[in-house]
């Protein structure tokens, strides 16, 4: 017998130090759709009941242990750049973990990159919003090329020849990651390259130049010389780019391969070392005479690419709302199985105050995203007022919801405690992802300035916005007072640029209040108004006033297996 096991029975028993107790079960194998009443109601309201079956299937898939693990794995093993092959040929190829491709294939397969354009009908955008909202709860990084591909369609449509060649491949629901010319593919993805070193928000500073190969004009070939400081998803098959042509800043579609089958000199210099969004490669790229087709007129580049940018901003709203929903399911699951000081944490009054407040934020954010989706459907059906509403709601929502995401992530982590800081929890990934949506696609200030721009360019947009908010008038006196104060902000337009953050924040809370009063459960609507528009609204989560039905608000984030 070894000297180490030669001890009395009581001592041997002591080798078993403890049972693991008071720890939650894994949060996996649940249906993200059937467990989300707010989402189901949004689908019905938007007229997308026809998509129920597909959404249920996707909900089950997104909540499955396997797909959750794809989210983790695709971020643990970062993409790697191979600039040349072993024989020294330039390839500019990024190698991803297979889990990334699985996620891409799932999103493409469920039409997230284009279905509403391919099959426009009532509820098409709302259905896609629901799908994006669920897959976004799993993983955000792959959402970048999915969003850019979806968003490219309105810009691609500006040139009929380009549209005919590219859009069917954009809308195809298969996924083909091969590094080959687009003519050999049925399905493509599209990226976007605007930002240069000297200017991101102010793309008028772009220094990349474009020279016509023969003729000038939309659909003609040009050669581009310059650089792009941020090019995400560099394995996309083509990129919408801005460059200076003779007629001014212009929009181009630059493919990875030239039409003659040779490698386009769109050279990836390096991948960015990002704090989050790890599964998604973002690169610095140089254009050494890269071939591109002009889209639209020379000099109209910013206007033409902005149609794409409006769509990517909308997806930022959906993505940030999805993240908040994931935070909520995590923390309600955890606190309902974790006891401290004699009871489950989700039964403790102070914790209930925090959980319910975070849930209100998540619900109010999602409602804006689904409302923009409805506007898109209505606009596609010809309702121009809905276009004006969307024009305003998008920057308002992008500003506020993306800005609320980082604080929401951190507060959610705190409700879990120490385990949420560990890298084998989903929370550090969501925390590192959180500041990105607010920075890219127009940072906070730029969104506020865009609200002012919308007022100038489309005078109907502010009216359409107020009309939407006013739909809840008369249902709560705090709401009515808040709305009246907001309207007063616009009686004197002096210093509006200086005041823009303050005004846009109020616009966001006002429209959230209106949507909550109309579409959320009454307990949540009452609490939102009391917490955000009442006299005692606080500066951090967990300061809701008394007398609210917090348990039922929290229940909305509780999932059943």
Ligand X SMILES: Cc1cc2nc3c(=O)[nH]c(=O)nc-3n(C[C@H](O)[C@H](O)[C@H](O)COP(=O)(O)OP(=O)(O)OC[C@H]3O[C@@H](n4cnc5c(N)ncnc54)[C@H](O)[C@@H]3O)c2cc1C
List residues near ligand X by CB under 6 A: 191-195, 200-202, 230-232, 274, 277, 282, 436, 439-441, 443-446, 449
198 burial level (CB within 10 Å; 0-12, 13-18, 19+): exposed
Q: Are 212 and 221 in contact (CB under 8 A)?
A: yes
Judged by beta carbon, residue 51 or residue 194, the one nearer ligand X is 194
DSSP SS3 for 306: helix
Cα separation values, 319 from 41, 140, 146, 336, 375, Å: 19, 7, 12, 26, 18
- Burial of residue 41 (number of CB atoms within 10 Å: 0-12, 13-18, 19+): middle
Q: Specify the residue, 118 or 496, whose C-beta has the smaller distance to ligand X.
A: 496
- Which residue minimizes CB distance to ligand X? 200
Q: Which is nearer to ligand X, 125 or 313 (CB)?
A: 313
Q: From the CB of 271, what's the least distance to ligand X, in Å?
A: 11
What is the nearest approach in angstroms of ligand X to the Cβ of residue 450? Answer: 10
Neighbours of 166 (CB within 10 A): 23
For residue 281, the minimal CB distance to ligand X (Å) is 10
Query: In whole angstroms, what is the distance from residue 436 CA to residue 316 CA?
Result: 9
Which one, 191 or 397, has the nearer CB to ligand X? 191
What 3 state SS string does 440-498 have? CCCCHHHHHHHHHHHHHHCCHHHHHHHHHHHCCCCCCHHHHHHHHHHHHCCCCCCCCCC
Instruction: Find the shortest distance in angstroms from Cβ 76 to ligand X.
Output: 18
Min dist CB 241 to ligand X, Å, is 8
CA distances from 15 to 2, 3, 10, 21, 401 (A): 15, 15, 9, 17, 51
Nearest approach in angstroms of CB 278 to ligand X is 10
Number of other CB atoms surrounding residue 53 within 10 Å = 9
Shortest gap between Cβ of 238 and ligand X (angstroms)? 13
> What is the spatial distance between Cα 101 and Cα 67, in angstroms, rounded to a whole number?
12
Cβ-based nearer residue to ligand X, 274 or 499:
274
Query: Please, which residue, 265 or 435, has the CB nearer to ligand X?
Result: 435
Q: Which is nearer to ligand X, 274 or 518 (CB)?
A: 274
CB of 192 to ligand X, least distance (A): 5
Cβ closest to ligand X, residue 218 vs residue 447:
447
């Amino acid at each position: 017998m070894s000297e180490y096991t030669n001890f009395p029975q009581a001592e041997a028993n002591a080798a078993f130090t403890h049972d693991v107790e008071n720890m939650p079960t894994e949060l996996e194998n649940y249906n993200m759709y059937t467990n989300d009443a707010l989402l189901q109601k949004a689908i019905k309201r938007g007229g997308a009941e026809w998509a129920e079956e597909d959404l249920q299937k996707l909900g089950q898939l997104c909540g499955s242990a396997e797909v959750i693990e794809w989210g983790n794995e695709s971020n643990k093993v970062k993409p790697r750049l191979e600039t040349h092959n072993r024989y020294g040929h330039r390839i500019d190829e990024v190698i991803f973990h297979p889990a990334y491709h699985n996620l891409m294939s799932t999103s493409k397969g469920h039409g997230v990159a284009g279905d509403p354009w391919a099959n426009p009908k009532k509820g098409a955008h709302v259905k896609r919003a629901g799908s994006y909202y669920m897959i976004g709860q799993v993983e955000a990084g792959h959402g970048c090329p999915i969003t850019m591909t979806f968003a490219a369609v309105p810009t691609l449509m500006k040139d009929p020849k380009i549209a005919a060649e590219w859009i069917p491949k954009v809308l195809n629901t298969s996924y083909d990651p091969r590094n080959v010319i687009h003519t050999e593919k049925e399905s493509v993805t599209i990226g976007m390259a605007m930002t240069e070193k000297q200017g991101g928000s102010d793309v008028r500073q772009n220094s990349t130049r474009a020279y016509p190969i023969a003729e000038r004009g939309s659909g003609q070939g040009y050669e581009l010389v310059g650089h792009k400081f941020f090019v995400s998803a560099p394995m996309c098959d083509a990129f919408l780019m801005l460059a200076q042509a003779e007629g001014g800043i212009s929009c181009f579609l630059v493919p990875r391969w030239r039409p003659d089958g040779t490698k386009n000199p769109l050279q990836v210099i390096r991948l960015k070392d990002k704090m989050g969004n790890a599964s998604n490669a973002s690169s610095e790229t140089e254009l050494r005479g890269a071939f591109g087709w002009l889209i639209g007129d020379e000099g109209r580049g910013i206007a033409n690419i902005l149609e794409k940018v409006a769509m990517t901003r909308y997806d930022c709203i959906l993505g940030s709302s999805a993240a908040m929903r994931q935070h909520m399911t995590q923390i309600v699951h955890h606190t309902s199985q974790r006891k401290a000081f004699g009871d489950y944490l989700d039964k403790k009054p102070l914790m209930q105050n925090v959980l319910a407040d975070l849930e209100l934020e998540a619900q109010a954010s999602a409602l804006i995203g689904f409302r923009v989706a409805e506007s898109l459907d209505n606009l596609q059906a010809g309702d121009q007022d809905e276009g004006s509403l969307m024009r305003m709601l998008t920057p308002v929502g992008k500003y506020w919801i993306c800005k609320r995401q980082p604080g929401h992530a951190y507060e959610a982590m705190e409700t879990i405690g120490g385990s949420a800081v560990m890298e084998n929890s989903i929370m550090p990934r969501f925390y590192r992802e959180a500041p990105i949506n607010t920075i890219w696609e127009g940072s906070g200030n730029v969104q506020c300035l865009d609200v002012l721009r919308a007022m100038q360019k489309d005078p109907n947009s502010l009216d359409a916005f107020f009309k939407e908010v006013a739909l809840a008038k008369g249902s709560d006196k705090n709401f009515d007072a808040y709305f009246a104060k907001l309207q007063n902000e616009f009686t004197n337009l002096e210093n509006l640029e200086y005041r823009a953050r303050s005004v846009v924040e109020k616009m966001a809370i006002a429209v959230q209040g209106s949507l909550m009063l109309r579409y959320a459960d009454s307990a949540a609507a009452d609490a939102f108004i009391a917490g955000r528009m009442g006299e005692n609204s606080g500066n951090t989560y967990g300061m809701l006033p008394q007398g609210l039905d917090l348990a039922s608000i929290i229940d909305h984030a509780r999932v059943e297996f």
